Amino acid sequence: MLIFNSNPNIAMNFKLLSASFGAILLSIHTSFGQITENPRVEESSVPYVKIKKVELTDANTVVYLQFIDKQAQQPQLRSQPRTSPFPDSRIPKLQQQGQSQIWLDPETRLYKPGEIDKKFKFIRAENITTTTKTSVANGDTVDFVAYFERLTPGIEEFDFYEGRSSGGYQSWNFYGIHVKNPLKKQPEKSSKPIAKATTPPAKKPAVKAPQKKVPVPAPKKESETAVLRGTVYNAKTKEPIAAQLSYIESGDTLQIRSSSGKYRVGVDAGEQYKFRVMARGYYGSSFSLAPGDSSGKSFDQDVYLTPLIVGETILLPNIYFETSQYTLLPESFEELNRLVDVMRDSPTVKIRVEGHTDNVGDFDKNLELSRQRAEAVKNYLVEKGINGSRIEAKGYGGTRPITKGTEEERKKNRRVEFVITEM
């Protein structure tokens, strides 16, 4: 027998109890994981695969994806990466008219950008094969799910890297996937005093040692020989900037300062020159000149310097290592010394050195080699007196190519860059 009580207070208490119970259930659900619907993705290798949701459970990182075959027929719409094309333009082959084939490479993994030791392996997939290929009719949509190891709490940006597909197929790569994954142990943030105890006095000696010789008046050879002239520009704004040129002539180091950016130098046709161009707040450059190789009496050489701006990526063009090793060769020292001078002249600048390789060979070994090369550059700067707390080193392996094509062109992918992280 059921007995109903019409007392309004009891009814109100029941509603409050129901609301409290619902809140408890919600808190229990959220404690088991974090869900990010339609996460922001900075770059993707193909337009026809989307990440719809990322769920972080206690055990896994679950990525929900969607494939739309209709867009797979338009490879020219592939998005571009941060600074370059993606590796291996592998486009799904059409096995029959109106059909393509898909699968998920079991070697796919998640990475914290630039950190080889922060990788999370693939576990399993739902609604997509990983060993055979599945045909998809033109226009069909396939929703599938990929399970990976659980992202470490605090990692709120990661890369989804497939990258090992072969046989003419396009890999599915996603860079800069932003999710909710807060750090659980908040007290660790209180360890800032350790970061501050980085012996700031070490910075001042570096500023005190300009290592620049006293300017010597340049010999007046304009009327006797050839003339080099040009303007130094801001590479971003294309506006002239105040700069300093230095060069060696007859064993003497000569310097020319220009407040307007325009310069004019008399040069001897019987000598070879290497000019170094510097400006405060910019990364310097250099160029060579051999007047005797030309029949002209004048030479024009404009120079464009990259400003030191937070977020700016700057190529170190003349960095060389032993083959398949991370030992710096002496030919690299001139370029590295230029970076040393920049950091001495700008003592508040902090940078991230980034190592890159091509995509030939083992993926993980390339990542490790690129990290070691970035560390080698950092170690050189530290040995020259730059405080190590101002330098971060990361390796990206072959995931950030700047060119593709011939073997000679792909050599450009083996490079070292640095990014301004703080001014």
* Extents of the domains making up the chain: 37-186, 226-307, 308-422
When the pLDDT of each residue in the chain is averaged and rounded to a whole number, the result is 77
Q: What is the mean pLDDT of residues 364-393?
A: 94
Looking at the DSSP assignment, which residues form a beta bridge with residue 229?
264, 300
In this prediction, residue 2 has a pLDDT band, given cuts at 50, 70 and 90, of very low
Check pLDDT > 50 for residue 228. Answer: yes
Which of the given ranges, 41-45, 150-154, 173-177, 277-281, has the highest pLDDT on average? 150-154
pLDDT digit string, tens, across residues 125-155: 999 999 888 888 888 899 999 999 999 999 9
Q: What is the mean pLDDT of residues 10-36?
A: 51
Residue 265's pLDDT is what?
A: 80
In this prediction, residue 97 has a pLDDT band, given cuts at 50, 70 and 90, of very low
Count of all residues that appear for the chain in the document: 423
Residue 330's pLDDT is what?
A: 92
The CATH superfamily of 226-307 is Carboxypeptidase-like, regulatory domain (2.60.40.1120)
pLDDT digit string, tens, across residues 28-81: 444 446 899 999 987 776 788 999 999 999 999 999 999 987 544 444 333 333
Residue 72's pLDDT is what?
A: 43
Check pLDDT > 50 for residue 310. Answer: yes
User: DSSP 3-state assignment of 113?
Assistant: coil
- Say what the pTM is: 0.51
Q: What's 139's DSSP letter? A: T
> In angstroms, how far is CA 41 from the centroid of its own chain?
15
Q: What are the residues whose beta carbons fall under 8 Å from the beta carbon of 116, sequence distance 6 or more?
A: 364, 367, 368, 371, 395, 397
Q: How many angstroms separate the CA atoms of 247 and 286, rounded? A: 10
**Residue closest to 92 by CA, chosen among 167, 150, 27:** 167
Q: What is the mean pLDDT of residues 206-224?
A: 53
Q: What is the mean pLDDT of residues 393-399?
A: 91
Q: What is the mean pLDDT of residues 391-413?
A: 85
Residue 91's pLDDT is what?
A: 38
Residue 298's pLDDT is what?
A: 75
- What share of the chain has pLDDT > 90, as a percent? 33
Which of the given ranges, 39-48, 382-391, 394-403, has the highest pLDDT on average? 382-391
DSSP assignment of 176-231 equals EEE-----S-GGGGGGHHHHH-S-GGGHHHHHH----PPP-PPP--TTTSEEEEEE
Residue 339's pLDDT is what?
A: 92
Check pLDDT > 80 for residue 409. Answer: no
Q: Is 367 exposed, middle or buried (0-12, 13-18, 19+ CB in 10 A)?
A: buried
Looking at the DSSP assignment, which residues form a beta bridge with residue 230?
263
Residue 402: φ, ψ to 5°: -105, -10
Q: How many angstroms separate the CA atoms of 168 and 91, rounded? A: 6
Angle between helix 363-383 and 333-345 (nearest 10) = 60
Q: Please give the residue that has the higher pLDDT: either 250 or 410.
A: 410
In this prediction, residue 189 has a pLDDT band, given cuts at 50, 70 and 90, of low
Pick the CATH number of 308-422 from 3.40.50.300, 3.30.1330.60, 3.80.30.20, 3.30.505.10: 3.30.1330.60
Check pLDDT > 70 for residue 10. Answer: no
- Are the CB atoms for 353 and 392 separated by under 8 Å? yes
Q: How many angstroms separate the CA atoms of 360 and 235, rounded? A: 33
- What share of the chain has pLDDT > 70, as a percent? 70
In this prediction, residue 162 has a pLDDT band, given cuts at 50, 70 and 90, of confident
Residue 31's pLDDT is what?
A: 42
Check pLDDT > 60 for residue 7. Answer: no
User: DSSP 3-state assignment of 166?
Assistant: coil
- Are the CB atoms for 225 and 267 separated by under 8 Å? yes
Residue 4's pLDDT is what?
A: 34
Check pLDDT > 90 for residue 394. Answer: yes
Radius of gyration over every alpha carbon of the chain, rounded to an integer in angstroms:
29
The reply to whether 37-186 and 226-307 are identical in fold is: yes
Q: Please give the residue that has the higher pLDDT: either 193 or 290.
A: 290
Residue 214's pLDDT is what?
A: 59
Q: How many angstroms separate the CA atoms of 165 and 399, rounded? A: 14
Is 37-186 assigned to CATH 2.60.40? yes
Q: Which of 82-96, 101-115, 205-219, 378-392 bottoms out in mean pLDDT, i.e. has the lowest?
A: 82-96
Residue 55's pLDDT is what?
A: 96
Q: Which of 14-18, 68-72, 248-252 bottoms out in mean pLDDT, i.e. has the lowest?
A: 14-18
Alpha carbon distances (Å) from 273 to 112, 216, 264, 329, 334 = 45, 16, 14, 23, 15
Residue 286's pLDDT is what?
A: 87
Residue 146's pLDDT is what?
A: 96
DSSP assignment of 300-333 equals E--EEEEE--TT-EEEETT--B-TTS-PBPGGGH
pLDDT digit string, tens, across residues 252-276: 777 888 888 988 887 777 788 889 8
